Structure 1
Amino acid sequence: MSGIIFWIYLVVINCLAYILMGVDKRKARKHKRRISERTLWLSGLLGGSAGAFAGMKKFRHKTKHVLFAMGMPLLLLIHIVLIAWFLIRMS
């Protein structure tokens, strides 16, 4: 049961991170108050790195910021390794 909760959590946090990237891009275009970079990073760090990275690519957002352009793919790689380790350990 806890495995199912883990996967549901990953889906939700990745959807949230993706949506946050899109919303922030829209706000940037309309010159409105933005979502903080801290919030974007936090969504990625909490497991949403795949969604954040996909959102960066889809919305062409934060791709010129070196910290995001290099950091989010690196964070995604770390998350992939951790999930692989978790799956191996569970079997």
Structure 2
Amino acid sequence: MYLWILLYFAMINLIGYIIMWRDKRAAQSIHWRISEKLIFQIALAGGAAGIYVGMRYFRHKTQKLRFKIGIPFLVVLNAGCLVGAILYLQR
């Protein structure tokens, strides 16, 4: 059962990474942007690690205090939820 949880976290983090790539490209070419609210919603849903990696790799939103503090906090929160869920299911 916990394999599904790991698969979910892998997919949501891939989505988070792709969203950061897409928003960076949109910012460079002045196209439709992805809202910060949506980025944080995906991070809260478990995709914070993918968003964090995307932030660093694409150098996108790294100067915004909300992202500098919020995304690493959500990475820790997501990791705690993942570990908690797996431990709960293994008992």
TM over 0.5: yes
What amino acid sits opposite 1:32 in the alignment? H
Question: Counterpart of 1:12?
Answer: 11
State the alpha-carbon separation in 1 of the partners of residues 7 and 83 from structure 2: 17
Output the aligned Cα RMSD: 1.1
Task: Tell me which stretches of 4 or more aligned residues in structure 1 moved more than 6 Å.
Answer: none
Aligned to 1:24: 23
Rounded to whole Å, the distance in 2 between the matches of 1:40 and 1:34 is: 11
Q: TM-score, normalised by structure 1?
A: 0.91
Deviation at 1:46?
0.6
Matched-pair identity in %: 33
Give the distance between the partners of 1:43 and 1:81, measured in 2 at CA: 16
1:32-71, aligned counterparts within 5 Å?
32-71=31-70
Letter in 1 for 2:58: F
User: TM-score if structure 2 supplies the norm length?
Assistant: 0.91
Please list, as runs of the form range in 1=range in 2, the aligned pairs for 1:72-87 lying within 5 A after superposition. Answer: 72-87=71-86
In the comparison of the two structures, how many residue pairs are matched? 90
